Structure formats: structure tokens, C-alpha cells
Amino acid sequence: MLNRYPLWKYLLILLVLVVGVIYALPNLYPEDSAIQISGDRGTRIEQSALDRAAQALEAADIAIKRTELEENGSGLIRLQDANDQLHARDVIASTLGQDYVVALNLAEATPSWLASIGAAPMKLGLDLRGGVHFLLEVDMDAAVKQRLESNASAMRQTLRDERIRYRNNEVKDHSIRFAFASEEDLNQARSLLQTQYNVFTFTTEDEGRGAVLVMTITDQAIQELQDYAVNQNLTTIRNRVNELGVSEPLVQRQGPSRIIVELPGIQDTAAAKRIVGATANLEFRLEAAPDTPESEIETLPFRNDPDRKAALLKDIIITGDRVSSASRSFDQNGRPQVNINLDGAGGSQMNSATRSNIGRNMAVIFIEHKSRTRTVMEDGKQVEERVPYTERGIISLATIQSALGSQFRITGLDSPTESQELALLLRSGSLAAPIYFAQERTIGPSLGQQNIDRGIMSVIVGLVMLVIFMLVRYKAFGLIANAALTVNLVLLIAAMSLLGATLTLPGIAGIVLTLGMAVDGNVLIFERIREELRAKKTVQQAIHTGYERALTSIIDANVTTLLVAIILFSIGTGPVKGFAVTLSLGIVTSVFTSVMVSRAITNLSVGGKTLKKLWI
């Protein structure tokens, strides 16, 4: 019999529709704007502190939904109005004082029964949800200096291994300088180092009673090093952003020395800057022996006690670059620590250095590259000048009891938060060069909500206009097309929610375009049915032929569009990818609803019936 589906097809369509409705439902429960309160040193929040914060908000006429204590020991206050978020944070911070960390947050509002089956609302992009935009600048001079200092340390070790004596060594103006007591020592050193370091030009200078070997890095090597520094920083920052769990972040290079970072949904900009821009690294060095020459010693303070200092060798055993993984934990006394795993080369270097120095002290040095601004006069005008500087501090100084391998622990940390951030930075890798924040913009939740409201309004207006057009043009069959259109929208939202796709403003444009394309499929079918009726075929034959012969045209048109969407996704970034994802999913749901859902409704309503006239 014409225009009848087998039972299994009806059941399949029903199943898809039910699943679609369930996984689209969480979007009716958007995230709540909230304030998160945690202890300054990772301590748990008491209910009394949460009550004090809630009372302070009520006194400031800030409406709250509810307060709750979370399993991780922090407190959460959900607000009625997103526009009150910044004011609420300031009120709570002044009420609770310095012993608490108060941050902006977005709290899940999905009912527990939906969350238990993995249902969650669509993730929103930076233009909808709000977040932060950073423009970072890579310090190219520091990248060159770091590489020269690393090479100088390796050269010193090479000369000592070959028993070639030198008086002093310094890094200055893109050059490494070694002073020797005799011409013979200089020639031996030059002959040895030239075979290992081909990125330097070697020259000599006379200096009183001795001679100086000057090794200047070439311009080509500097250019290659600077490109490497930017690309390595890109990789490291992407790793850090992935550790933060941000959905659809944007990390890309801009020009020769700048990097753009956009983090949707991040409300605590201070924490984001601390993680993304941290140029922390570790160095492991031996404590200097009493008879060590002064030129090979560097005296550094302890991080948690600046008045206490230790004299260390300039030579580095390994740096944080050799860390393959890191995790935080607590020792037997409940103090925070970081568990370190080194790569193969790092483990060998650590084992070699500690095996021959059992009984000596080894220091773990925490290094941070920072900058401060100062106001200077330039051409009669006051301008701000950035002055970079480096902070080095000893985390721990412990005696080597036995040869260490690729696994060990770092202790001496102040808080669990510090250990967590240090582990994150080591896991994601150290930056090849310091970076500075050239620009910072925050997109607030109010702007995001305004964009969301406008986007929803555009979808509603487009949907209403399509519904009216289909009703006027195709009458009763217009109702069938509109029902399929509604199913298409539900399935599209469900698919984006289920797959974790991120919705942006271009993505909303993709939804509107998808609705138009879905209607286009039904228009092809209905016009084909009209042609068959004009050819004097029966109603049932016209419906059957219309759906069957329009199928090829629908698939051809949508496949070509799908190929374009795939190309956009593969080569595009940011908003372009958001549009491509929405368009691709929309094409799949449009074909399904235009061909199967629309025909199923038609079969159920008029299939198998004897009709002399069709309202189309």
C-alpha cells in the first residue's frame, strides 16, 4: 500500500524525537550567575561564613536564589540577577576579609535527573557567555638571553670535563665571553666549542695578562630562536588553557611576537592571568662547596623566608623543561607537595648528578619573569614604560640521601593552591620566553545575555515568518512542514548539547540558515507533488512520487553544502568554526526531518485514504 511506513520506522522516529526532547531540555535551565567563596589556603568554608555573606548581600539589596556548600569545601551563592555579580563580589570580599577568596562563577542549574544521564545545556562562546580577551607579547630579548645562559652553562661543563681552565665567564649583548689565562687554553677551548656550537661566530680579544674568547650568536639563529619561542609559547598556553577546562578557547599568533587568548566563561580574570601568563619554571642546582670560585656562585633567597639565603652553583642540573608529568599531593604531615616525573634524558641527568654528590644539598629554585611599569618623560610627554625583571627563590634545600631517578617530590610549598598551580604549570610546560599582557578586555555577563536575547529573538522571528509562509503557500501541508520544522529545531539543539558544541553568534546565524534550508526541502517535495497532481495522477500516487523523486535533489543540495561546512570547520578558527558546526549538524537534522519526519506525518494523516482533492 502506498504511503505507509513499516512499524519500525515509526518507532525509530519516535525514539529519536524522545531522545531529542530530553537532551534539549537542559537549555531551559541556563547557568546561574554566582559567587564562589573558598578559604585562602584551601580550608573548608563553614556555614556561618556563608550565612554572613548572604546577610551582607541582603543588606545591600542584592537578591539571591540560594546558598550551598560544595563537596570540595567551597561555598556558592546563586544570584537572581547577573548584573549584580560584580557588586556582590565586592560586598562579600569586604565582609569576609582577607582570609577568604571570593570569585565570580557560573553555577549549573540542570535538574539532577537530567544531569544523571549526561544531559547538559549548550556551551556558549565568548560573545554570548562572556569571558576574557588577552593580547600577550613575547619578550624576544629575554628568549635570546635565556638560550645564551643555557649554552654558557653547557660550555662551562664541557671545558671542565676537558680540564680546560678559564678565569671567568659572562653573557652580554648576544655574546658569551670566556676569559683565559693563556693563549693555549683559549685555542683549545675554541677548537672544542666550534665543533659543537655552529650558531656562533668566534672572535678573540686581548685583555691584559690573558685573552678573551667571544662567541656571538648569528642573526639567523636569533630569528629562528624567536620563531621557536613564539610557537613554543603557543603550545604551552594551549596546554594551560586545556587544563583550565575552557570550552572553545581561542589561542592564536598575531604578528611576529604577539599571541591572542580568548577564554569564554572565565569570570575570575585574576586567576586566568595567573595561570595563562605565568612564566614559572624550575631549576635544580647543587649548593656551592666552601672552595668554589666566586665567579661560579649565585646567592639566592628562600621564597617563604627572604632573609634566609643560600649560595648555589650557577650550573643547572635540569630545568622544568624535563618534567613529563606533575601532580599535587600531601606528605605524611599533611603539608602540600608536588610529585614529579622526569623524561628519559632528565632522569639520566638527575641520576648522574645526585649519584656523585650524595651528602651534598640540592636546591629547587622557582623562577618567575615579571614586569612593572614606570612613568617616564619622552618628547615632553609622560609615557608608561615596561621594565622586565626576574624573581628567583629557593623552594627547598634538601640533602641528597641517595641517587635520584626520574621520580621524586618537591616540598616546602605554602598552600594546596600553590602546589596545584605549580603542578599545572609543570604539566603544561614552561614558556620558552616571558610574556607580558599588552591588552586585556573583559566581556561581562550582561553583554552576553543581551547577545543571547537578540539571538533568540532572531530565531523566533525567522521561525514565525517561515510558519506563516508555509501555511499560506501550502495550507494543510504547511502544517506538516511546520511540525517537521519544530522537530528539526529540537533535534539540532539536542545534538549540539549532546556533542558539547559551542554556540556563538555566528552559530545562531547557522541555526536560522538551517531552518530556511529545512523548509527548502519541504518546498521541493510539495512542488513535486503539485506537478504530479497536474499530470493527472491520483492523490496517493502524487504524494508517493513527490517524496521519492524529490529525495535525490534534497540529498544533492545538502551534500554540497555539507562539504562546504566541513571545509570551513577544517580551515576556520573561532566564530567560523562555530558557524560550520551548527551548519553541519543542521544539514543532518534537516535531511532527517524533511524526508522521514515529514513523510511519517503525511503517511499517518492521509496515507492509504481515498482522497479526490489535496489541500496543497
* All cell numbers assigned to 183: 693563549
The residue ranking higher by pLDDT, 86 or 121, is: 121
φ, ψ at 173 (rounded to 5°): 55, 55
Give the DSSP H or E segment for 172: strand 168-172
| Tens-digit pLDDT profile for residues 19-65 | 999 999 998 888 888 888 877 555 678 888 888 888 999 998 898 88
* All cell numbers assigned to 613: 482533492
Q: Is the distance from CB of 248 to CB of 125 less than 8 angstroms?
A: yes
What does the H/E/C string look like for 524-567?
A: HHHHHHHHHHHCCCCHHHHHHHHHHHHHHHHHHHHHHHHHHHHH
Q: Determine the straight-line distance between the first and last CA of the chain, rounded to whole angstroms.
A: 22
* All cell numbers assigned to 350: 638527575
92 contacts: CB under 8 Å, gap ≥ 6 = 35, 37, 53, 56, 57, 77, 102
The residue ranking higher by pLDDT, 58 or 98, is: 58
Does the pLDDT at position 211 exceed 80?
yes
Please count the other Cβ atoms lying within 10 Å of the Cβ belonging to residue 208.
7
**Mean pLDDT, residues 228-241 taken together:** 82
171 vs 177: CA distance, rounded Å? 6
Among 41-45, 330-334, 522-526, 590-594, where is mean pLDDT lowest? 41-45
Best-predicted range by mean pLDDT (59-63, 82-86, 127-131, 505-509): 59-63
What's residue 582's pLDDT?
Answer: 86
The angle subtended at Cα 320 by Cα 343 and Cα 232, nearest 5°, is: 90
| Tens-digit pLDDT profile for residues 409-431 | 777 666 776 677 677 666 666 67
- At residue 333 the predicted structure's pLDDT band, cuts being 50, 70 and 90, is confident
* All cell numbers assigned to 485: 520544522
**Mean pLDDT, residues 63-77 taken together:** 83
Bridge partner list, 369: 390
Q: Is the distance from CB of 70 to CB of 108 less than 8 angstroms?
A: no
The residue ranking higher by pLDDT, 430 or 515, is: 515
- At residue 490 the predicted structure's pLDDT band, cuts being 50, 70 and 90, is very high
φ, ψ at 177 (rounded to 5°): -120, 130
Give the DSSP H or E segment for 487: helix 445-499
Q: Please state, rounded to an integer, the average pLDDT across all residues of the chain.
A: 82
9 vs 12: CA distance, rounded Å? 5
Buried (b) or exposed (e) across 170-183, using 16+ Cβ within 10 A? ebeebebbbbbeee
What's residue 573's pLDDT?
Answer: 67
The Cβ-side half-sphere exposure at 493, using a 13 Å CA radius, reads 22
Among 97-101, 202-206, 283-287, where is mean pLDDT lowest? 97-101
Of all residues in the chain, what percent carry a pLDDT higher than 90?
7
Q: Is the distance from CB of 487 to CB of 20 less than 8 angstroms?
A: yes
The residue ranking higher by pLDDT, 39 or 359, is: 359
What's residue 444's pLDDT?
Answer: 60
Does the pLDDT at position 445 exceed 80?
no
Strand residues in 218-360 grouped as ranges (E): 250-254, 258-264, 281-286, 297-301, 309-313, 318-319, 323-330, 336-342
Residue 34: name the closest of 87, 77, 90 by CA.
Answer: 77
What's residue 112's pLDDT?
Answer: 86
| Tens-digit pLDDT profile for residues 147-201 | 888 888 888 888 888 888 888 888 888 899 888 888 888 888 888 888 888 889 9
- At residue 247 the predicted structure's pLDDT band, cuts being 50, 70 and 90, is low
What's residue 574's pLDDT?
Answer: 64
9 vs 14: CA distance, rounded Å? 9
> Which domains, ranges and CATH numbers included, belong to the chain?
7-26+449-606 (1.20.1640.10), 32-107 (3.30.70.260), 140-221 (3.30.1360), 281-415+423-441 (3.30.1360.200)
Does the pLDDT at position 18 exceed 90?
yes
184 vs 166: CA distance, rounded Å? 11
| Tens-digit pLDDT profile for residues 363-376 | 888 887 666 667 77
Instruction: Kindly calculate the radius of gyration of the chain based on its CA atoms and give it in whole angstroms.
Output: 33
170 vs 269: CA distance, rounded Å? 40
* All cell numbers assigned to 73: 569545601
Residue 429: name the closest of 247, 259, 234, 143 by CA.
Answer: 234
3-state secondary structure of 180: strand
Please count the other Cβ atoms lying within 10 Å of the Cβ belonging to residue 127.
24
| Tens-digit pLDDT profile for residues 559-607 | 888 898 888 888 876 677 778 888 889 899 988 998 889 889 988 888 7
Among 367-376, 501-510, 550-559, where is mean pLDDT lowest? 367-376
| Tens-digit pLDDT profile for residues 258-271 | 898 888 766 666 66
- At residue 466 the predicted structure's pLDDT band, cuts being 50, 70 and 90, is confident
Sheet holding 210-217, edge to edge: 168-172, 175-180, 210-217, 200-207
| Tens-digit pLDDT profile for residues 335-352 | 788 888 888 888 888 888
Please count the other Cβ atoms lying within 10 Å of the Cβ belonging to residue 239.
15
What's residue 24's pLDDT?
Answer: 92
* All cell numbers assigned to 36: 564562589
Q: Is the distance from CB of 126 to CB of 263 less than 8 angstroms?
A: yes
DSSP conformation class of 289: P
